[in-house]
């Protein structure tokens, strides 16, 4: 077994035709007679011929390989994003090859270069947290390999990017809570060096400014490592005992915040309302189900893959900046508060349910 892989040449020999004819017969080329095609196909079948795509694509100068580089395999968002990408990629007869940069710019550069070695037809990139500029993607550009940035990006006029409107999502979150009577909201954000965090925070702040609701610096948390969250939360609650709502920027922050609140004995939504940006998974298994601004990983993945494949197949390098629409999903974690009368100190008034 496995002694020798059957090649076109073997088939050619067996049916007494040239390799060229066999190749064309298998490709259903009009130049070949039906009778011959049948004979060839039969032989191929009988010898269980398997074409070698690498040989084929070597000539064709493409690979039908799409590379995805993610900073890490986070359990949130990334899996559903990959699901979406995979769906479209497979539908279009490409294969997805997955790399992890481990949030290292060095790795990211190395991987980008590696994509050229493999002659990937296109690259999907979720930027590492270390990435501050896009110089290292020049290689790809030089080789004419289209690149699409998604989810975590930085400002660029050169590469197509797919994101949600992060600033607007942050703004919508704060507005939603303020509309329901919350005027002291704690916002929990990721590392501010990342554009996604900065934008969501910016929107959050803007909403406060627009409503003229004061926002203390201690109401805005920037969490670099999730282990820090406990201490930060502690301090925030100490500084703002009348806190009535918490907004988390991602699922990751959501589940940990939810946990820490539960541990402190804080009841949701009776004591504190909770709102997040999420792809909807975590909110469904957290109690109570968490109201969130839905950011579908699958949709992001699908859209992105479509766009990349479009670029590949139409050889287009027009730069786009696509925003995925978010939708608000109202579940049970936010309560409506009556606008508070001037407080006389002590604990916040008991909330009332929505």
Partner DNA sequence: ATATATTGCGCAACCGGTTGCGCAAACTTT
Partner DNA sequence: AAAGTTTGCGCAACCGGTTGCGCAATATAT
- Chain positions contacting DNA, by CB under 7 A: 5-9, 16-21, 23-24, 26-27, 31-36, 49-52, 55-56, 58-61
**Complex with DNA: residue 52 or 91, whichever CB lies closer:** 52
From DNA, its own copies, none, interface partner of 27 (C-beta below 5 to 8 A by class)? DNA
Question: Which CB atom, from 275 or from 298, has the smaller least distance to its own copies?
Answer: 298
- Cβ closest to DNA, residue 157 vs residue 315: 315
Q: Which does 237 bind (CB under 5 to 8 A by kind): its own copies, DNA, none?
A: none
Of DNA, its own copies, none, which one does residue 18 interact with (CB within 5 to 8 Å by kind)?
A: DNA
CA atoms of 214 and 184, how far apart (whole Å): 8
Q: What is the CA radius of gyration of the chain?
A: 27
Q: Which does 287 bind (CB under 5 to 8 A by kind): DNA, its own copies, none?
A: its own copies
Nearer to DNA, 56 or 235 (CB): 56
| Residue entry with tokens 């496995």 | 2
Shortest distance (Å) from residue 114 CB to DNA = 14
The C-alpha atoms of residue 316 and residue 308 are separated, in whole angstroms, by 10
Residue number, 151 or 168, with CB nearest to its own copies: 151
- Tokens 């004995």 sit on residue: 265
Residues of the shown chain interacting with its own copies in the complex, contacts defined by CB under 8 A: 1-2, 5, 48, 50-55, 57-58, 63, 65, 72-76, 78-80, 82-83, 86, 90, 95-100, 113-114, 116-119, 139, 141-144, 255-256, 258-259, 262-263, 281, 284-288
Min separation Cβ 98 and its own copies, Å: 5
Distance between CA 294 and CA 275 in Å, rounded? Answer: 11
State the DSSP code for 265. T
Minimum distance, C-beta of residue 312 to DNA, in the bound complex (Å): 17
100: left (phi over 0), alpha (psi -120 to 50) or beta: beta
**What does each C-alpha distance from 320 to 150, 244, 304, 311 come to in angstroms?**
12, 40, 11, 11
* Contacted entry of its own copies, DNA, none for residue 24, CB cut-off 5 to 8 Å set by kind: DNA
Handedness of CA 240, 246, 248, 252 (dihedral sign): positive
Closer to its own copies by Cβ: residue 66 or 198 = 66
**Which of 172, 205, 213 shows the shortest CA–CA distance to 187?**
205
**Cα–Cα distance, 263 to 162 (Å, whole number):** 37
């Amino acid at each position: 077994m496995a002694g020798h892989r059957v090649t076109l040449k073997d088939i050619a020999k067996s049916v007494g035709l040239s390799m060229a004819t066999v190749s064309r017969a298998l490709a259903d080329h009009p130049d070949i007679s039906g009778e011959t095609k049948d004979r060839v196909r039969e032989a191929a079948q009988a010898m269980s011929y398997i074409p070698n795509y690498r040989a084929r694509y070597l000539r064709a100068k493409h690979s039908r390989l799409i590379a995805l580089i993610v900073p890490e395999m986070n359990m949130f968002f990334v899996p559903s994003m990959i699901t979406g990408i995979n769906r479209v990629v497979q539908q279009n007869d490409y294969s997805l090859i997955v790399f992890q940069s481990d949030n290292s710019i060095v790795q990211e550069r190395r991987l980008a270069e590696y994509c050229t070695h493999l002659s990937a037809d296109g690259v999907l990139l979720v930027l590492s947290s270390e990435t501050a500029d896009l110089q290292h993607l020049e290689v790809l550009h030089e080789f004419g390999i289209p690149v699409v940035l998604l989810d975590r990006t930085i400002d660029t006029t050169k590469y197509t990017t797919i994101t949600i409107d992060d600033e607007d999502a942050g703004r919508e979150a704060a507005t939603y809570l303020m509309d329901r009577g919350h005027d002291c909201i704690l916002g929990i954000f990721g590392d501010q060096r990342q554009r996604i965090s900065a934008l969501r925070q910016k929107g959050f702040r803007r909403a406060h400014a627009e409503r003229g609701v004061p926002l203390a610096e201690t109401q805005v948390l920037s969490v670099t490592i999730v282990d820090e969250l406990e201490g930060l939360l502690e301090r925030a609650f100490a500084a703002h005992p009348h806190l009535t709502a918490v907004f988390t920027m991602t699922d990751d922050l959501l589940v940990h915040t939810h946990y820490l609140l539960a541990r402190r004995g804080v009841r949701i939504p009776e004591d504190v309302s909770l709102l997040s940006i999420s792809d909807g998974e975590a909110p469904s298994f957290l109690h109570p189900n968490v109201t969130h601004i839905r950011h579908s990983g699958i949709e992001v993945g699908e859209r992105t893959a479509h766009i990349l494949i479009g670029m590949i197949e139409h050889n287009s390098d027009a730069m786009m900046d696509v925003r995925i629409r978010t939708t608000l999903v109202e579940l049970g974690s936010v309560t409506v508060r009556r606008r508070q009368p001037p407080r006389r100190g002590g604990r916040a008034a008991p909330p009332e349910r929505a």
